[in-house]
Amino acid sequence: MSASDEPSAPADAEADWHALDERPVPTWFQDAKFGIFIHWGLYSVPSWAPLEGHAALRYAEWYWHSLTTGKSLPEGSPDRATWRFHQRVYGVTFAYEDFAPLFRAELFDSEQWAEILRAAGARYVVLTSKHHDGFALWPSAEASKTWGRAWNSTETGPKRDLVGDLTDAVRKKGLRMGLYYSLYEWYNPLWTADRTRYVREHMHPQFKDVVARYEPSVIFADGEWELTSAEWRSTELLKWLFEEPPSKDEVVANDRWGSETRHAHGGYWTTEYTAGMSSLKHAWEESRGIAYSYGYNRAERAEDYKSSRELILMLADIVSRGGNLLLGIGPTADGRIPVIMEQRLLDIGKWLLVNGEAIYSTRPWQPSRQWSTGELLQLEYDKEFMASYDILRMVEPSMDGSAAIEAFFTCNNEAVFAILPRWQTGRFAFEGIAAESVKSVVLLGENRPLTFQGAADGISIDLPVISGSLLAQPAWVLKFSP
């Protein structure tokens, strides 16, 4: 090992982080607001996870890990459910790698996927180039070399460059393409034998290969918790990312680069199945699946999926606090976006087609929301992983006297927007918006001016009777123009 291959000392890493943290997050990312996260791989063949037990075990993409750890647990443990399922369906001798030839993607139509993602109103897409199982969706030489078997989608299974196909199709639709990349791999022989060599001989060259091939606009790193950023040599990798590839000026990276880096270092900050972050200037993104899992889980039922209305209100709430929503979908092993997921995406896109002006290229308005009278609900903001977040409870009036959100606010250089989760015909007052600063108020989708007047600490609007498709919306937007 040469001196240049040695991990940087912690002090040097801290100095490097200081320089990297000064790099601004590209404006396009903060303007985009809505992206689609795609978890697709060998785990899409069994496509199963229990709906009880440890939260991470509900992720279908963790099938191999849940299968392996479950073998050693007591028979009655809920965390042993994946092992029991695997025994019953595939048999004791069926190994995880046996899923590779069954992951055929025979119905995968990249153009169809791209059109669905465009119609959803997404501005960027993030695909799992490889998850923690190490199986690569592009012709990665490192994957097959270190695993000692065909372990990428061009050598086995689909026999296709899935990353390349989707990247080309997505960009043709005018969307930005990003890649999820797991730093570690659960059972990679090199990882289990020598982590320093794994970082040097596998992870670094493989990461540079996938970036050089596809020039992604987003890097969603993950699996960072096993080592510090100095041990991963993350600052070295990020300096290369921001200085060498053709995409260096537009690429944005997240905060998952070492056991100490979340909400401390990196580009945008991340939360996962939480309420997201409290309003702040630092770019952040909440990611979650439509149900309990990112990858497709056949055990999930219709009632486990968020409704279109809930997802739209979630988007409005997150954007009002300065964040992005990266909404996860899990295609099937044969290459289909499940119909229930497609329907949710198209509903979101239909709403954005009318009301996207209040979402895209906006920034938080202060205050970010208006509550009714009553006791405010306490939410777990800024938590990284799994926090209670029931947006429907937050917007519906309660019999127990709790306050409900009446409006979410966003703004741009031309207007302030109030996103209403409920339509209440008649006079409605908004605090914090001075009537004398407003020249017109319109309801998006029905561009006739509304009557307004000054009110105590704000402005009072006469909300008209509406009907048809406008009344059927899950939320409504008022535009206040100066």
Kindly report, residue by residue over 289-314, the tens digit of the pLDDT: 999 999 999 999 999 999 999 999 99
Architecture category of domain 11-355 in CATH: Alpha-Beta Barrel (3.20)
**Do the domains 363-481 and 11-355 match in fold?**
no
Give the pLDDT band (50/70/90) at residue 405. Answer: very high
Q: Which CATH class is domain 363-481?
A: mainly beta
- N residues, the chain: 482
**Is residue 56 scored above 90 in pLDDT?**
no
- Asked if residue 34 has pLDDT above 90, the reply is yes
pLDDT at 79: 85
Q: Domain residue spans in the chain? A: 11-355, 363-481
Q: How far apart are CA 325 and CA 303, in angstroms?
A: 22
Is it the case that residue 383 has pLDDT exceeding 60?
Answer: yes
Instruction: State the Cα–Cα distance between residues 239 and 31, nearest whole angstrom.
Output: 24
By CB atoms closer than 10 A (0-12, 13-18, 19+), residue 406 is buried
Tens of pLDDT along 330-346? Answer: 999 999 999 999 999 99
Query: C-alpha distances in angstroms, 360 versus 126, 257, 309, 363, 417?
Result: 18, 28, 18, 9, 12
Q: What is the pLDDT of residues 226-279, one digit of tens each?
A: 999 999 999 999 999 999 999 999 999 999 999 999 999 999 999 999 999 986
pLDDT at 148 over 60: yes
